Every structure is written in C-alpha cells, then in structure tokens.
Structure 1
C-alpha cells in the first residue's frame, strides 16, 4: 500500500473559518450601508422613474396585479410590504417589530430601484429603436409568409412502416474472383 501524507500547510481549519466569518460580517456591513443609502434615496428614485418613463411604473403595477391574480397569497404579501414601506400607513397601525419594519421598508426600496431600472431599460430600448430606424432597418411586415415545404419525418428508432421493404440490398450477379496472390481473401471462402 502507498503511504498517504496529509499536509497541514496551506490554510485550513480555524484560519479559514475565521476568515469566512470575517468576510460574511464585512459583506453584511457593506450591504447594509448600501441598503441604508438606497432606503433614503427610494422616494427620489421612484420620482425619477416617473420622470424618465411613466410607462415603467404603470407596467410594474399591472404585472403586480397579474401576480396577485395568479398567486394571491404571495402577491398580497408583496403589495402589503410595498404599501407599508411607502409610509402611506403609519407603523402604529400595523404592529411591526424592528425586523418586520425593515423588511417592509425594503419592499418599497427594492421596488423603487426596480422601477427605475425598468424605466432606464425602456429608455435604452427606445434609443435603440431610433438608431435602427435611422440606419434604415425596417421590421418585415407581419403578414409576410415564407414559402416552405413540409417534409415527412420519423424518429431514428421508429419501427419501419408498411411502405418500406426491409431485405438485403440487391447484389450484382457478377462477383469478383479472389486473387490467389492475396491469402486474406482465401480466409472468407
């Protein structure tokens, strides 16, 4: 048997665990700081989205309404979090602990960021369409059909149909005579 030696060099054990915990703590504080700034900027982001493209806000509301119709429980939870997060309802009306309040505030914050990014995306799409129309690209009319021919197809491993005749391929009556100089041909006689 071969001797297997394990090396304790190269980090591992308690060092990696401490490094991982420190990385998670640092990521938590960085993300919470970013989220705090985003929380303060959420009303401005929402208004900015309305200014850039108001259709993005309307489309987001329509998609939320469709989500409420398809999945009522989750849709209503999202709607309540967004409404509480906007500050329309005072927090005294809905008894929330600190974590619940932060989650509710996060609903409006993330919605504001989403609506702003959607409005910017609509704006970029509009600019792209304008540049394509200026370059002379036109979409083909929807009523135009392309001619094509339908081919019969069958799966690879499908059983043969009754139309197909399976049998040996036709052989010619003229066979080559084996050459006596080639001993390999004599093996098959």
Structure 2
C-alpha cells in the first residue's frame, strides 16, 4: 500500500533505473514497523471519520438525483474567493482550505438541509512531516490521515466562510504523528 507521495517516489525510482541509473537517487526505506500500532493499543483522540453518520432526517440524496460537474479553480478564482470572503486580518489560508470550505458550504446550501442536520467534510492530510522524527524520505508506504470536520448545516450555512475555513484547518491539525512517543516507547522497550 502506498499514498501519492510514496507512489511518486516509487515511479521516479523506476524511471531512474529505466534511464540507466544503477540505483535510485532516493534509496527506498523498507521500515514497515514505522507505523505499527502502539503495544498495547491506546486511543489518544476521537476519530470522527469512522463514526457512524447519525440519522439524516430525510436528507440522503440518491446518486440519480445529483449531477456531476467539473470546476476548475486557478489562481484567479482562488484570489477572488480570498478577496471577497476571507478578511485580510485573518491568518493565511491555503488554497486547499479555501476550496474545501467553499465547496462544503456551497454544497450544503444547495442541498437545503435541515439546519440541525450534522454535516461533515473529510479531507486527506499528508502525515509524513508530522512525526518526530519525520518519516524518512524513500518510505513508499501510506502515511495520510483522513480527518473529519463536523458542524450542523445551520451553523455552516449561517456563518461566514471563515467558520468553515477554521473547521477544515482544525480537522487538518488533528492529524498528528506519534511525536516523541515513538522515542519514549523505544526507550521503554530497550529498558525491558
């Protein structure tokens, strides 16, 4: 299993070898144990992304009732959203945060959900740099988190876009590595 970053590293390594290199410029790291579960397992945070979605009060939309459309967000479109909906005095938001928050809010408004209906936005977060020490370059495995931002349709639609932006940013921040726990566990295991 791999994520996008690992797949790109793997394909680059294959391309380098196909072009005549004796070995890839980034040596593969085969440390499958890097992301092993704690022993014994310990829950350290709430994983809303795996919770069962509560009863939807009749707001489930059949795929047959939806239409697929492609939207392209370039620099000009993102700059327009930033200028019109994100106050300058607030910290900088990434393009991803702006697009995710905007689409989540617009979709919720379009579906005309019950204001008390719980809505969530799940995002993919690259967790490679969130570990201490970081996951080594050359690790092809999957290192992403899939956190969920939650609120009610009424709060999402009734507040400015910055409300959704903060929820998306907070969800992204919830993805964390093991930090120094990995080092602490190694010390504990070596001492036994």
Taking structure 1 as the reference length, the TM-score comes to 0.23
Query: Which one has more relative contact order, counting CA pairs under 8 Å at least 6 apart?
Result: 2
Q: Could you tell me the TM-score, scaled by structure 2's length? A: 0.23
Q: Which has the higher helix share?
A: 1
Q: Which has the larger radius of gyration?
A: 1
